[in-house]
Structure 1
Amino acid sequence: MDSIRNKLASELMNAESSQIAIAPFTERYPDLTVTDAYHIQLQVVEQRLAAGRHIIGKKVGLTSKAMQTMLNVNEPDYGHLLDDMEVADQQVVSVKDMISPRIEAEIGFVLDRDLRGPDVTFLDVLLATKYVVPTLEIIDSRIADWKIKLIDTVADNGSSARVVVGQQKTPIDHLDLRALGMVLLKNGELIATGSGAAALGHPAHAIAWLANKLSDFNISLKAGEIILPGALSGAVNVYAGDHIEARFGQLGNVSVAFE
């Protein structure tokens, strides 16, 4: 199995660098397990670290019931965020650097102390949070035509591509993140709405799940990292010429343009 994991990790690296998608792993290797997929993800991350990149955070995906039902799974997945994925608010991203990008709005958490599972709770997350920021996650699939199942997207680093981090930093004291609303605009037109409850009922639940899941691989959430707990609405396709803005009320706004 190690040789297959190595092969598939190399395929993902090549697909990302060439912007040429590959066939789903689940079609070619039906015996792959979710554990295999996480090991493939970690191999890709390790190669990128060896090339000089560094980890700036982690992300949770598949936190909505709709996405879990679509992929026939009953739990989220996760991926790693690296420094070359970070995009400043109001900047421009080239679609030519990706295969089939989509975008989601999320409430980003920045920690002021480490969180290590397996017994991290909702309250632990709240106590460890320094502040929250409005974020947009640009996702992309190195798997052709987004024909993914859980194992495909896990191996593909949770379909991560970029993260756009808003400028406003808001302490969570007195915030009801469950009820916090979000509106997503594409070229000035409203295309989606959501609330914090979309992420496993409350974003802190999603982050507690992540901390506990990562403990299986002896990984922790680190102070200073940005943690994305899952999208507040469905992912939206983006193309050159598009401008996307997410408005989070008292958390502020975040936007990105595509060329």
Structure 2
Amino acid sequence: MRAARLPKAQPMLDPQTRNQIVADLIETYRNRKALPLLTQTYPGIEMDDAYAIQQAFLARSLEQGRTVRGYKVGLTSKAMKAMSGATEPDFSAMTDDLFMPEDTPIAFDHFFRPLIEIEIAFVMKSALKGPGILPVDVLRATDFVLPAIEIVDFRVGPAPGMTVVETVADLAACGAAVLGANPCKLEDLDVRKIHGQMLINGKVEQEGYASAVLGNPVAAVAWLANKLGEFGVTFEAGETILTGSFVKAMPVKAGDEVIARFDSGLGDVRTAFV
């Protein structure tokens, strides 16, 4: 996979401050201590700063040999917007190390404060670049969709007063993704009507319909293609797009077993934390 050209934002913080935040984010993996809220430590930080920090954070990963395997769209449902106070979705590129095999135990201490979301992932058949992308373009460019679990995680916070600025700087709060291996063609589905359940240790904790994601997960892919198109970034064939959770994220702990269960032929995807 390619090393993606990342969007160029126009940040307000000075370069030295941004570089220090990136260094602090990297340090969290060593000391296992999440950073305090950036909006409290740096009251002047703005959304452009957050995306610039995210870009620099990702650039460090690419320099270490990681590759971009896809993107995530977050805060696409009313439930998740209500949790964050966001008015529009956020996004981040996802590198190869953020994708984990299904039905394989995951070390809980790999994460900071993980939450679980259930989502539908789109795998691209052909390149897609905005602006001007419509849902019909997404339909043509999609190879298939998969059931997915996203593990949300926080290298910054969380704490009272947390804003979307923190999550954007923090890779849109992406910890990892677990993809199912049961592909379905979009032409065989009414993706809006897909019903999903989140089961933790056999108990249904959340459930809902994919239409909660901007009315249709296809719209989430179109939104992101247009957003990234503003910066000259293209979805490439083979990349995976996580379209956002259509239920509220739930916390997990060591020992938990998680299943994302979908109807319409998508089936189950599962993981466990050890």
Query: How would you bin the TM-score normalised by the shorter chain?
Result: over 0.9
Whether the 8 Å contact between 2:73 and 2:91 is mirrored in structure 1 is yes
Shift of 1:198: 1.4
The 5 Å alignment of 1:121-200 reads 121-147=134-160, 148-200=162-214
CA deviation map 1:56-92 (0-9, x unaligned): 1100001112332343331100012111111111011
- Out of 77-86 and 15-24, give the one that drifted further: 15-24
Shift of 1:215: 2.1
Distance 1:79 1:169 in 2: 23
CA deviation map 1:12-54 (0-9, x unaligned): 1111343211111111212211111111101010100100111
Question: How many aligned residue pairs are there?
Answer: 259
Whether the 8 Å contact between 2:37 and 2:158 is mirrored in structure 1 is no
Whether the 8 Å contact between 1:245 and 1:255 is mirrored in structure 2 is yes
Distance 1:48 1:242 in 2: 29
Q: 1:36 aligns with which of 42, 49, 57?
A: 49
CA deviation map 1:194-232 (0-9, x unaligned): 111111110011111111111233222111011001002
CA deviation map 1:164-204 (0-9, x unaligned): 01010111113111111001111011111011111111001
1:48 equivalent in alignment to 2:97: no
Shift of 1:146: 4.7
Distance 1:16 1:201 in 2: 36
The 5 Å alignment of 1:109-128 reads 109-128=122-141
CA deviation map 1:134-162 (0-9, x unaligned): 00000100112355311100000000111
1:227 corresponding residue in structure 2: 241
1:89 equivalent in alignment to 2:124: no
TM-score (norm 1): 0.96
Q: 1:73 aligns with which of 71, 74, 86?
A: 86
* RMSD of equivalent CA atoms: 1.2
- Opposite residue 208 of structure 2, the aligned amino acid is G
CA pair 94-133 structure 1, distance change in 2 beyond 3 A: same
1:209 corresponding residue in structure 2: 223
CA pair 229-146 structure 1, distance change in 2 beyond 3 A: farther
- Out of 23-32 and 159-168, give the one that drifted further: 23-32
Shift of 1:124: 0.9
| Residue segments in structure 1 that go unaligned for 5+ positions in a row | none
Distance 1:66 1:186 in 2: 19
2:269 corresponding residue in structure 1: 254
Distance 1:188 1:35 in 2: 42
Whether the 8 Å contact between 1:19 and 1:97 is mirrored in structure 2 is no
1:22 equivalent in alignment to 2:23: no
- Opposite residue 191 of structure 1, the aligned amino acid is E
Q: Is the partner of 2:55 in helix, strand or coil?
A: helix
- Opposite residue 210 of structure 2, the aligned amino acid is G
Shift of 1:241: 0.4
| Residue segments in structure 2 that go unaligned for 5+ positions in a row | 1-13
1:106 equivalent in alignment to 2:111: no
- Opposite residue 93 of structure 2, the aligned amino acid is H
Whether the 8 Å contact between 2:118 and 2:148 is mirrored in structure 1 is yes
Identity %: 37
